[in-house]
């Protein structure tokens, strides 16, 4: 039974209904920024400021006797050998990158399938990053490996200093398990190498002045032959400075080897070109907004906007396929493999040797279907069946083990309170449970439920609630509300030992909101909160908060929020626009100064999401969701912790630094911690991750549990 109405509860707290955002006063665009000096990432003055704020935060947290225990518990979870090691099949071996207490930076290792089936597989070390870092005197962080088909004896390994997006690429011999002397080497920059053949690669990187886009990514791609300096690589394609990212790659599928150049103008705005044998380029003439895929003889398109072609109309969110060669010859005959409804969207498409697996979200719940091409009388149709053996509940994902050679797949199933399971099987045959993560926290008293809040414009906004089975609705339950709300990224239920140990096991309620800006209902859900409509994401989040309060789950003094990156921007706006709803907030690696975001690091690449602050008409709406410009001295904000990383070369640490400085100057209750390493993920190893997570959760527990 609900104990109190929202109006009564907020009236009793002296707050009034929160149906509208708080008023904001924004200075003109030309106003001086007194904290511009904090954008000097490694400047001594700025770092002295960082160290002093870090010291205050560490002292406060370490004074709590529970902090050290929480940090140790989280590190034990992150280092646990009982976690499921995810693997990738390369040739006859299955490869995994692993960090634990004995491999702080990590080890790249491999095993066989027979061994992997065992509870404790025997692993062969391929590359030990701890040993490499010590030998070379570098703080190496693993950034991935790209190995050449079909024999997989040579790889291009990317390594980052301290976890930054910028990395180096080095050629590695898998047979000798050592780097190749005088092999391919790309100096530190944002970009990469892609195999063409054993002696040739595509390279897109920083070639010197004028070779990068305004977002700091490669503008030029070249073809580079072994034994020649990179400076002599032959140009393949040059984009414009205002583009986002230029790259090229070869599709090594046997019988369908093709080369492509990709030109990304902005998020969800890209062009794909087929590179012919003579080096000329033929554009895949489809909408820039469509996600393009080429697999064997097929061209696939995931539409983000409605499209009319050859007399037919296709809905946004649809998946279309056609024969690639026919399309390039001018034919425009598509088969519709998926069309969305009011409640469904396409979450993923997986290709095996003989099948296409569709992962569909229906009101944010996964449903799997197998599509098989059947050719009769020269015409191909697609037979559709449910995926046999797929779990009925929870978040389900599928990956093809070797899509060129088999129909074998891995399937993972998870939810908030059920440890993740890994299954192995062949499409159309029963699955075998291969591994299951152990329970890292006691969830026997917990239950998961889905609810819908009503946003300001009447939109139904789903959210998941993880709470005790017999939850008292007295409004005093410490509750943590999380969301992301951007870039068409969906937030689905998953088993998080960290959330379980740090929050749920302590009696907290955990909520994940599927607000607009995400991808839970496909492109329309994302596009509903772009640019001038950004506030719809914040209104959705506020609606969920209000629904939790109205139902007696919690109340403002006990309701905390947390988000990172775009989610950090979300948190910044919630505390400045809806401060009366929350008792504490954590904003991690956030965007906060939306007047300068496009001038900092990769910020220019996000203007399709937020708008261009240099355009006066667009700044008019951008400034309404720029927390750095909307924070005021005469408003009481919830206690807030900002965290970031000096090595984050995606979202500039200046955002968090300047917001902290401004709120501190105005006398608000704020804390700050900046990790010197870690990149955009905030941590370069498990120990750092455990410390950062312990900071955030202990801060929330202190503020939300003690308040009355």
φ, ψ for residue 335, nearest 5 deg: -105, 135
In this prediction, residue 10 carries a pLDDT of 29
Contact 195, 146 (CB under 8 A): yes
pLDDT at 679: 57
- Residue pLDDT, tens place only, 241-267: 999 999 999 999 999 999 999 999 999
Q: The tokens of 111 are what?
A: 């095993």
Paired sense of beta strands 559-564 and 584-588, if any: parallel
Kindly tell me if the per-residue pLDDT of 15 is higher than 70. no
Enter the CATH code of domain 43-75+440-706.
Answer: 3.40.50.1820
Looking at residue 23, what is its pLDDT? 47
Q: How far is CA 9 from the centre of its chain?
A: 36
Confidence band for 7, pLDDT divided at 50, 70 and 90: very low
Question: Are 678 and 162 contacting, i.e. CB atoms less than 8 angstroms apart?
Answer: yes
Instruction: Give the CA radius of gyration of the chain.
Output: 26
- Tell me, what's the pLDDT at 17? 29
List, for residues 327-368, the tens digit of each pLDDT value.
Answer: 999 999 999 999 999 999 999 999 999 999 999 999 999 999
Residue 677 has pLDDT above 90, yes or no: no
Of the residues 535, 558, 652, 680, which is catalytic? Answer: 680
Predicted confidence at residue 12, as pLDDT, reads 30
Q: Outline where 80-220 has alpha helix (H).
A: 113-116, 129-136
Per-residue pLDDT, 376: 86
pLDDT at 31 over 90: no
The torsion angle over the Cα atoms of residues 454, 456, 458 and 463, rounded to 10 degrees, is -30
Strands 291-295 and 366-376: unpaired
Confidence at 682, pLDDT banded by 50, 70, 90: low
Helix axes 566-577, 654-665, angle to 10 degrees: 20
Say what percent of the chain tops pLDDT 70: 94
pLDDT tens per residue across span 467-490 = 999 999 999 999 999 999 999 999
| Per annotation, catalytic residue among 262, 565, 626, 645 | 565
Give domain limits for the chain. Answer: 43-75+440-706
Q: What is the pLDDT of residues 132-164, one digit of tens each?
A: 999 999 999 999 999 999 999 999 999 999 888
Residue-averaged pLDDT of the chain? 93
Three-state DSSP at 474 gives coil
Position 680 pLDDT exceeds 70: no
Residues pairing with 615 in the sheet: none
DSSP state of 394: S
Mean pLDDT confidence for 548-560? 98
Q: Does residue 494 have a pLDDT over 80?
A: yes
Q: Per residue in 183-227, pLDDT tens? A: 999 999 999 999 999 999 999 999 999 999 999 999 999 999 999
Banded pLDDT at 21 (limits 50, 70, 90):
low
- Higher-pLDDT residue of 378, 25: 378
Instruction: Please tell me whether residue 347 adopts helix, strand or coil conformation.
Output: strand
For this structure, is 211 an active site residue? no
Q: What does the pLDDT read at residue 391?
A: 83
- For the entire predicted model, the pTM comes to 0.91
The token pair at 708 is: 């009355």
First to last CA, the chain: 21
Confidence (pLDDT) at 389: 86
Please report the pLDDT score of residue 390 as a whole number. Answer: 86
Say if residue 11's pLDDT is above 70.
Answer: no
Is the Cα dihedral 423, 428, 429, 430 positive or negative?
positive
Assess whether 565 carries a catalytic annotation.
yes
CA gap 309, 237 in Å, rounded: 29
Q: Per DSSP, what are the bridge partners of residue 193?
A: 203
User: Any idea which of 16-20, 122-126, 157-161, 418-422 has the lowest mean pLDDT?
Assistant: 16-20
Q: Which residues contact 258 (CB under 8 A, 6 or more apart)?
A: 250, 251, 274, 275, 294
Residue 460: what pLDDT? 98
Contact 549, 10 (CB under 8 A): yes
Asked whether residue 119 carries a pLDDT value surpassing 90, the answer given is yes
pLDDT one-digit tens code per residue, 285-332: 999 999 999 999 999 999 999 999 999 999 999 999 999 999 999 999
Write out pLDDT tens, residues 608-653: 999 999 999 999 999 999 999 999 999 999 999 999 999 888 999 9
- What residue has token string 């006398």? 667
């Amino acid at each position: 039974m609900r104990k109190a109405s929202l109006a009564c509860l907020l009236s009793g707290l002296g707050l009034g209904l929160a149906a509208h955002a708080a008023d904001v006063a924004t200075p003109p665009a030309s106003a001086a920024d007194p904290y511009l000096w904090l954008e000097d990432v490694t400047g001594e003055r700025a770092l002295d400021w960082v160290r002093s704020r870090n010291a205050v935060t560490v002292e406060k947290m370490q004074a709590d006797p529970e902090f050290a225990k929480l940090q140790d518990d989280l590190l034990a979870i992150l280092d646990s050998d009982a976690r499921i090691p995810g693997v990738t099949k390369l040739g006859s071996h299955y490869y995994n990158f692993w960090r634990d207490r004995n491999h702080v930076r990590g080890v790249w290792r491999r095993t066989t399938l027979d061994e992997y089936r065992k509870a404790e597989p025997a692993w062969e070390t391929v590359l030990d990053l701890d040993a490499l870092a010590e030998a070379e005197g570098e703080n190496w962080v693993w950034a991935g490996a790209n190995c050449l088909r079909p024999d997989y004896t040579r790889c291009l390994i990317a390594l980052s200093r301290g976890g930054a997006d910028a990395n180096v690429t080095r050629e590695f011999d898998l047979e000798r398990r050592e780097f190749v002397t005088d092999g391919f080497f790309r100096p530190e920059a944002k970009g990469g190498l892609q195999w063409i053949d054993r002696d040739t690669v595509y390279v897109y990187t920083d070639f010197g002045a004028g070779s990068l886009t305004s977002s700091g990514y490669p503008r030029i791609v070249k073809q580079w032959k072994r034994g020649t300096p990179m400076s002599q690589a032959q140009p393949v394609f040059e984009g414009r400075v205002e583009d986002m990212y230029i790259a090229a790659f070869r599709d090594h599928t046997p019988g369908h080897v093709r080369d492509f150049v990709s030109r990304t103008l902005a998020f969800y705005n890209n062009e794909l070109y087929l590179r012919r044998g003579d080096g000329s380029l033929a554009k895949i003439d489809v909408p820039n907004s469509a996600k393009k895929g080429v697999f064997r003889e097929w061209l696939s398109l995931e539409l983000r906007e409605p499209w009319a072609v050859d007399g037919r109309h296709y809905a946004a969110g649809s998946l279309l396929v056609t024969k690639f060669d026919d399309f390039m010859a001018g034919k425009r005959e598509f088969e519709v493999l998926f069309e969305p409804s009011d409640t469904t969207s396409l979450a993923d498409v997986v290709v095996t040797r003989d099948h296409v697996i569709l992962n569909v979200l229906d009101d944010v719940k996964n449903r799997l279907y197998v599509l098989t091409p059947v050719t009769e009388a020269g015409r191909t149709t697609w037979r559709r069946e449910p995926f046999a053996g797929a779990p009925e509940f929870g978040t389900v994902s599928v990956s093809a083990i070797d899509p060129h050679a088999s129909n074998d797949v891995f399937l993972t199933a998870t939810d908030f309170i059920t440890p993740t399971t890994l299954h192995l099987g062949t499409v159309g045959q029963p699955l075998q449970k291969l591994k299951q993560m152990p329970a890292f926290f006691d969830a026997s008293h917990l239950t998961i439920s889905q609810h819908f809040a009503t946003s300001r414009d009447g939109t139904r906004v789903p959210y998941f609630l993880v709470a005790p089975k017999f939850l008292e609705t007295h409004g005093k339950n410490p509750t943590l509300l999380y969301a992301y709300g951007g870039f068409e990224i969906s937030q689905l239920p998953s088993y998080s030992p960290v959330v379980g140990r740090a929050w749920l096991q302590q009696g907290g309620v955990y909520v994940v909101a599927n607000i607009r800006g995400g991808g839970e209902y496909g492109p329309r859900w994302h596009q509903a909160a772009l640019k001038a409509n950004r506030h719809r994401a914040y209104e959705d989040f506020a609606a969920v908060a209000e629904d939790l309060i109205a139902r007696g789950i919690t109340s403002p003094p006990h309701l905390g929020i947390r988000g990172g990156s775009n989610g950090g921007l979300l948190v910044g706006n919630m505390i400045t626009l809806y401060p009366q709803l929350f008792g504490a907030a954590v904003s991690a690696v956030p965007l906060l100064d939306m007047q300068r975001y496009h001038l900092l690091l990769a910020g220019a690449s996000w203007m399709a999401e937020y708008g261009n602050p240099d355009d006066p008409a667009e700044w008019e709406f951008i400034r309404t969701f720029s927390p750095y410009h909307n924070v005021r001295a005469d408003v009481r904000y919830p206690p807030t912790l900002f965290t970031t990383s000096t090595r984050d070369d995606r979202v500039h640490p200046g955002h968090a630094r300047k917001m902290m400085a401004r709120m501190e100057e105005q006398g608000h209750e704020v804390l700050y911690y900046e990790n010197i390493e870690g990149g955009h993920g905030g941590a370069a190893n498990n120990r750092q991750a455990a410390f950062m997570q312990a900071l955030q959760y202990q801060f929330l527990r202190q503020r939300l549990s003690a308040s009355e």
